[in-house]
Amino acid sequence: MAKTPGSGRGQPGKRKTSGLHAKTPGLSALRRKTPVPEGEAKASPAGGTRKLASALRRRTPTGGAAVPAGGDAGAEIGIYHRRGMSVRQKFGLVISLSFGLVALIVGLSVTSFFRANLWNEIVRYGYGQVVSLRSFGQRVFDDVREGADTARQYPESERQKADQQLLQTIVEAEPRLFSISVLVSPTGPTENPSAVAAHGGTKPTEFGPPADAKIIHPPGDDNRVQIWQSTFTSEEGTVPALFFRAPIELQGEKPLATVLAVTPISHIDMEVRALSIKLTVFGLIFLGAGIAIAMGLASAVSKPVSQLVADMDIIARGNFDHKPQVVSRDELGLLALALSQMTKSLSAARDQEVQMQRLSSDLDLAQEIVARLMPSKLPKLPGIDPGTLYYAAREVGGDYYDFIPVDNEHLAFLVADVSGKSIGGALVVSTTRTILRLMAPMNLSPADVLSKVNFHVARDIRRGMFVTVFYGILNVRTREFTVSSAGHNPMMLYRAATKEVEMINPTGMALGFDRGTLFDKVIKEQKIALHRGDRVLLYTDGIVESMDEKHEEWGDDKLIAFLKNNGDQKSRDFTNALKQAIADHQGNAEQHDDITAVTFKIE
């Protein structure tokens, strides 16, 4: 960084200027530290326009359509297309399945409940029938027993036919009954009973249930009533049935007469099946209504979501002026508001990126300008071992160094530091270099050269900018080095004989502050005799002001100590070691200024 007017480093009034040297937001993503190998002058490559990394934005044409022709609203966002069902379809499917599941559970529950109730009802009905027919069976038993006593045959009598007709009427009036019989054994319980049957079929020949029958507990108070489940052979074939038997006359515990009612279980299945069909029809109607309601609700809920997706698609395609259309007081409204705010931020970020790209292009151009100003190779002089160290900070460097032939025996060495950065600093460097190269040839007075350069620079430089220069002319034959300083850092001279470092700092002020009168009075020059092993070091303040993570500068003392310890080395090794020492001091800290050094050793 260039210094304000003064006779060198440490004089009153010397300070850093603000200008373009201050950190510009976002430039850290555009610049890399590019060390330059010793002996070569390079700036960071100007490889075209730099791209700013952004996680918020893709490069897409502005004003893209929100919804493709023929597509659903919210079917895509930019390059991302919907995969799978939409929110409306998913929401409708979930509600429809919920309706279907409810209908299925209700249907199964009602069917199971109806079957159980129907079974219990038939059991109670059959139990009531046989209990109520006991008086009728008692009369039949009395008639049979009387007929046996009087030698009349009951089965062949008109009374038996009338009884049969009565039972038939009862069966026909009740669809659940298949058969009613009165079983009578007038002579004893061990003989096969006769029967008065009310329906066709195999008439039972036993008073009690068969061995393989399933016994059912009677629902009433009469524990003598027997109920079981078995098979019944009729004109329709053998079918499962319920049997209800109520004893009329007992001999001990064995019946002499009983009433038997038979109910086919298929009647239960038929009624359950009929109910299932009704429930199925009702369930389908319920499900259809549920689907219609579900799709209506899904459309109402998903419409704002689809509109938000369509708005996001427009924004994703680059139209940051678009405003979301969803207006509500719920979470979707809040999301739309957030999307609107994000769109404004993206628009601002886009504008900032355009500006950063323009600035990046300017910086690339400035770097290319500065890179072309530096010497492409080191001078080759007998008995002189030159070396350079240069690498710029993030922004375009304001440092400059050069080797200018003066005549056959003299070569000028110089380092300069411009107060400005970017294009402005590059142009000042370019102007100063051009004037220096015009004034230097055949002029053996460093002070006079700087005075003439200041005369032109002061008239062209922008107000507030200046250039500090340390300029020296070496007689390559006599090893005499004549130097002047235009407000720059002092030269450091390592004496091989004493292992000490001298600070050479002639008075002077920076180029550009004064057009001549004051500058010419202040500028001085100094002659120095160099001897074998001596080393000259010219540098800019980026070296001594290099900071570590704690913002502590490397400082003059450490540079002097380094020069004492490494002054005897070859210039290539010296500059490499200097670069490493600065890097060790910086650690992970960011380089904030250009680092430039020109050195040579007398061999």
Neighbours of 135 (CB within 10 A): 11
Nearest to 510 by CA among 391, 426, 428, 423: 428
| CB distance 493 to 600 below 8 Å | no
pTM of the model: 0.50
Nearest to 268 by CA among 420, 399, 114, 373: 114
**Residue 212 has which token pair?**
């393989």
d(CA 33, CA 446): 33
Please tell me the predicted confidence (pLDDT) of residue 63.
Answer: 41
Short-list 277, 286, 331, 280, CA closest to 304 = 331
Residue 325, CA distances (Å) to 214, 310, 374, 509 in order: 73, 9, 59, 65
Pick from 116, 133, 104: nearest CA to 196:
133
What is the per-residue burial (b if ≥16 Cβ within 10 Å, else e) of 459-473?
eebeeebbbbbbbbb
* Yes or no: domain 107-273 corresponds to CATH 2.30.29: no
**Distances in Å between the alpha carbon of 509 and those of 18, 129, 147, 398, 408?**
19, 133, 159, 18, 30
Cα angle value 468/396/22 (rounded, 5°): 75
- Looking at residue 382, what is its pLDDT? 92
d(CA 283, CA 426): 85
With tokens 């249907």, the residue in question is 107
Q: What is the spatial distance between Cα 401 and Cα 391, in angstroms, rounded to a whole number? A: 12
Q: Give the pLDDT score at 53.
A: 35
Give Dmax (Cα) for the chain. Answer: 176
- The CA distance from 486 to 10, in Å, is 14
The residues of the chain that CATH labels 3.30.450 are: 107-273
**CATH 3.60.40.10 occupies which residues in the chain?**
35-43+374-602
Burial class of residue 251 (count of CB atoms within 10 Å of its CB; 0-12, 13-18, 19+): exposed
Residue-level pLDDT at 447: 96
| Cα separation, 128 vs 136, whole angstroms | 14
Strand partners, 529: 480
Q: Among all chains, which residue has been given the structure tokens 């524990």?
A: 223
CATH match of 35-43+374-602 with 3.60.40.10: yes
Tell me if 74 sits within 8 A of 306, measured CB to CB: yes
Low-confidence ranges of the chain (pLDDT < 50): 1, 3-71, 73, 149-152
- Report residue 28 as tokens: 């850290």
What is the Cα–Cα distance from 47 to 364, expressed in whole angstroms?
7
| Residue 197: predicted pLDDT | 66
Q: Cα separation of 264 and 236, whole Å?
A: 11
Residues in contact with 426: Cβ distance below 8 Å, sequence separation at least 6, in sequence order: 365, 366, 367, 369, 370, 396
Q: 222 with 244: CB under 8 angstroms?
A: no
Residue type, 129: Q
Which residues lie across from 346 on neighbouring strands? Answer: none
